[in-house]
Amino acid sequence: MQLIRLGAAALNQTPLDWEGNISRIASACEEARRRQISILCCPELCISGYGCEDAFHSSGVLSTAMDMLHELEPVSRGLVLAVGLPVRWASGVYDGVALLVDGELLGISAKQHLAGDGLHYEPRWFRRWPSGRQDVVTVAGRQLPFGDLRFSCGGVRIGFEICEDAWVADRPGARLAARGVDVILNPSASHFAFGKDEIRRRFVLEGARAFASAYVLANLLGNESGRIVYDGSTLIADPSGLVARGGRFSFADVSVVDGDVDIDAIRLIQARSISHTSLPDHCDVISHDFMFPPLSPCDPSCGGDSRDEWERSQEPGIRKKEEFTRAVSLGLMDSLRKSRSRGFVVSASGGADSSAVICLVAIGIAMIAREHGSDAVKRLGLGDAVVSNLRKLSGSSYSDPSVQAIVAEVLTCVYQSTVNSSTTTREAARGIASAVGAKFHEFDVESLVQKYEELAEAVIGRKLSWESDDIARQNIQARVRAPGVWLLANLYNAMLVATSNRSEAAVGYATMDGDTAGGIAPIAGIDKAFLREWLTWIEHEGPQDVGPLSTMGAINKQQPTAELRPTHDGQTDESDLMPYDVLDRIERFAIRDQQMPVVIWEQLINEFPQHDAERLGYWTERFFLLWSRNQWKRERLAPSFHLDDESLDPKSWCRFPILSGGFSRELQELRKNASARDIQW
C-alpha cells in the first residue's frame, strides 16, 4: 500500500491583485503542510486571476505573472504544487498550469480546450495547445518544458485536465490514461450555476473510473471580478469513488480539502484495464525524486464529505433556494470589500425586490459572522473603530444583537414617498429594515416630482394628465428617487444597490436612471416568480444556520406594485405586464430556446389552460415587442451575478441587437395563426 495525501484548494482571488493572490496561495500551502498533504492543486489562473480579460494581452501582466511564479518556488517546499497562470509562448498567450516540486519549478502544462460559450470568452485571449506537443518556455532566465506534459514525482505520475478539458468529449484524460498517469489534477475556474456542482461531481467520478486514476478538482471561490460567482467546489476521487468533497460558498479566502489515495491499488486497476496501454516514457515526462511522507491508513481527520447539511438535501427546491441565497450573499460581500466600499444603500420600496436585496445583505453579514466570529467586521474592511464598539459575536441569526450591529454599519435603507405611496409599503419597508438591524430613513420626494412637472408644463404649455402623460408621470417619480440615494451613497462611500429582477429586465419594466440606478444589481439574474417563492421560504424557513425572517410576511401578502399611479387605479406589476409565471415561461421559450412567437403561443395554450388563447396570444406578442424595444435598457443595467444559463446580461451571456426589426414578420405569422382559429386581440 502506497498512500499519498492529495489536496484541493479553493481560493478567493482577485484579478491583478498580485500580492493578495500569492499570499492566498501561500496560505493554502501552509495549510497543506499542516495536514501532511503532498500534492496540492490550486485553481486555474490563480496567480493572475481568471477575470483579467483583455489585460491578458498586456506584456506587463504576462511578465509579472512569471515573476510571481518564480516567487512561489520557495513556497512549494515539501509539496507538489499546481498553480495556474497565463503564459506567452511564440506569438500567442496560453492558459497554463505550472508544477512546482519542493521548491523547484519543473514545467508548465497548457490548456488544450478553451471555453468560448456562454459567459466565457477564452478564445479572445488564449490559444489552444495541440495535444501531444511539447516545447520550452523561458521563466526567470531558465528554459523549462511547456505544453502537453506529464510529470513523475517520486515515481507518482501526474497529468492535467484544465477546467474545460474535462467538459468536452475529447478529454485529455483518456490520453493521459494511456500514458500511465496515476493522478489527474484539474485546476478550474468553473462558474456557479444552479445544479452545476452535480455535473462536476459526475465528471470527476467518471474521470477517476474511466482513466483508472486519482482525480483532483480545485475551483475558484467567491465574486472574483464582479459578475461571476464561483462556489469553491473541491473534489477528490479515485477509481472506487469519491474520496473527499469540500463545502461550497465559504466566506473564507482559502478553503482546503484533503483525501488519501492508494497508488498501488490504482496501478492494480490500471493493470487489469485493457484501455491502459501504459506507453513507455518519452520526452514529455519530467521527473523529480520527491519523497512522499509515510501516512497512517487510519487517519479519521482526512477525507470525507465536509459539506453543510443543506448540500446533502435531496429536495431540489431547497437546494436551489440555498444556492441562490449563498451565491448572491457571497457575491455582495465580496463586492463590498473588493470595491473598498464602506457599505450598501438600498432604496427600499416595501416591495419584494428591494426587500430581497435587504435580506440578502443581512444574510451575507450573518454568514460572515458565523464563519469569522469577532473578526467579521475586519473581514468587511470597516475599520478598527467599528470593531471596538462590538462585543464578541454570539450568533448568526437576523436577531442577534452583534450581527445587527454590523448590519447597522453596513446597510442604509431609504423609503422615498410620493402622493401615490401607501402606508402598507411604508410600514413594510420600515419593518424589514428594523428586523435585520439596518439604518432606515424616509424621504418625501413629492415636492420634487411636482417641481419637475411644473417645469415640463411650462415648456409644453399645458397641464400634465394621467390620461395623456401616463408613462412620463410614472417615470419622473422613479427618477426623482435616484439623486437622493446616490447622494447618501457618496457621503457614506457606499455602493448603491439596484433592485431590478430578470423578469422586468426582459420587458424593460424599469425606469432608467430611476429604479435601475446603482453600482450592482444582485437579483437581475433571477426571475420574479422564483424570487417570490424564495421570499416565502425566507419568511417560514430561511437558510441553514440563519433561519426564518417572519417580518417578510408583510412583503409576501402584497401584490407587487410600482405605486407610480394614483392609488385608486389599483396598479400592480402583473396588470401592467402579464402574470409573472407566463412572462417567465415566454422568456425561457424565446431567449433560452430561441423559439418563434407562434410556436411559443401554441405551447402556452397547453401549459396555461386557465388563460384563454386570445389573452395568451396578446401576452406573447407583448413580450416580443417589449423585448426587442428594450435591449438598450439591458445594456445599461448595473452588473449582475450569473446564476443560471438563462441570464439576460448582454455583457456576459445574452447578446441581442439594440436596433432590430422587432420580430414584425414573426408576429404577423402569430396573428395569422390566431385568425385561422377565429381569435383576435
CATH number of the domain enclosing 632: 1.10.10
**pLDDT for position 677:** 81
Residue 534 included in any domain: yes
Higher pLDDT, 379 or 85: 85
Burial of 603 (0-12, 13-18, 19+ CB in 10 A): middle
Single out the residue in 272, 292, 307 at which a domain terminates.
307
Structural domain includes residue 650 = yes
Show the domain range for 644.
578-681
Q: 153 and 215, same structural domain?
A: yes
- 447: which DSSP letter? H
Q: Please check whether residue 98 lies inside any domain of the structure.
A: yes
- Each residue of 414-427: pLDDT tens digit? 999 999 999 999 99
Residue 633 counted as domain residue: yes
| pLDDT above 90: residue 635 | yes
Residue 569 lies in a domain: no
- 29 SS3 class: helix
Q: Considering its fold, how many domains does the chain have in total?
A: 3
The per-residue pLDDT for 119 is 87
Q: Say whether both 300 and 322 belong to one domain.
A: no
Judge if 406 and 503 occupy the same domain. yes
Question: Domain with 322 in it: what CATH number?
Answer: 3.40.50.620
- Same domain for 273 and 322, yes or no, is no
Task: Tell me, yes or no, whether 351 and 299 share the same domain.
Answer: no
| Between residues 661 and 679, the one the model is more confident about | 661
Where does a domain end: 259, 287, 307?
307
Question: Using 50, 70 and 90 to split pLDDT, how confident is the model at 645?
Answer: confident
pLDDT digits (tens, 9 = 90+) for 316-344: 899 999 999 999 999 999 999 999 999 99
d(CA 84, CA 110): 10
Provide the pLDDT confidence category of residue 429 given band limits of 50, 70 and 90.
very high
**What would the DSSP string read from start to end of 240-308?**
TEEEEE--SS-SSSEEEEEEEEEHHHHHHHHHH-TT---PPP-TTEEEE-PPPPP--TT-TTSSEE---
User: What digits encode the pLDDT tens for the residues 430-462?
Assistant: 999 999 999 999 999 999 999 999 999 999 999
Quote helix, strand, coil % in the chain, to nearest 5: 45, 20, 40
Tell me: do 289 and 342 sit in the same domain. no
Residue 570 lies in a domain: no
| 495 in the same domain as 442 | yes
Predicted local distance difference test score (pLDDT) of residue 31? 98
Looking at the structure, tell me whether residues 409 and 327 fall in a common domain.
yes
Q: Phi then psi for 93, rounded to 5 degrees?
A: -115, 135
Q: Is residue 266 part of a domain?
A: yes
Cβ contacts of 440-443, under 8 Å, gap ≥ 24: 440/348, 440/413, 440/414, 440/415, 441/412, 441/413, 441/414, 441/415, 441/488, 442/414, 442/415, 442/416, 442/417, 443/414, 443/415, 443/416, 443/417, 443/481, 443/484
Residue 222 and residue 85 in one domain: yes
Q: How far apart are CA 38 and CA 154, in angstroms?
A: 11
pLDDT at position 549 over 60: yes
pLDDT in tens, 340-373: 999 999 999 999 999 999 999 999 999 998 888 7
The alpha helices in 109-249, defined as continuous H runs, are 122-125, 172-178, 196-210
Confidence band, pLDDT 50/70/90 cuts, at residue 274: low
What are the pLDDT digits (tens) for 281-309? 555 799 999 999 999 877 878 889 999 99
- Checking if the pLDDT of 98 tops 60, the result is yes
Query: If pLDDT is split at 50, 70 and 90, which confidence band does 676 have?
Result: confident
pTM: 0.94
- Same-domain status, 90 and 219: yes
Same domain? 295 vs 380: no
Mean pLDDT (the chain, rounded): 93
Rounded Cα distance between 219 and 8, Å, is: 8
Q: With CA atoms as reference, report the closest residue to 248 among 294, 193, 167.
A: 193
User: Which grid cell is 252?
Assistant: 473564507
Q: Tell me, yes or no, whether 663 and 600 share the same domain.
A: yes
d(CA 128, CA 188): 16
Q: Residue 429: which residues within 8 A CB-CB, separation 6 or more? A: 348, 349, 350, 354, 355, 413, 415, 440
Q: Answer for the pair 197, 233: CB distance below 8 angstroms, yes or no.
A: yes
Report percent pLDDT > 90 for the chain. Answer: 84
* φ and ψ of 508, to 5 deg: 70, 25
Mark which of 265, 280, 307 sits at the end of a domain.
307
Q: What's the rounded Cα separation, in Å, for the pair 102 and 323?
A: 38
Q: Which residue has the higher pLDDT, 221 or 399?
A: 221
CATH number at residue 18: 3.60.110.10
Secondary structure letter of residue 523 according to DSSP? T
Whether 607 is covered by a domain: the verdict is yes
From 167-181, 373-387, 499-513, the region with the lowest mean pLDDT? 373-387
Give the rounded percent of residues in the chain with a pLDDT score beyond 70: 96
Instruction: Please tell me the total number of residues recorded for the chain in this structure.
Output: 681
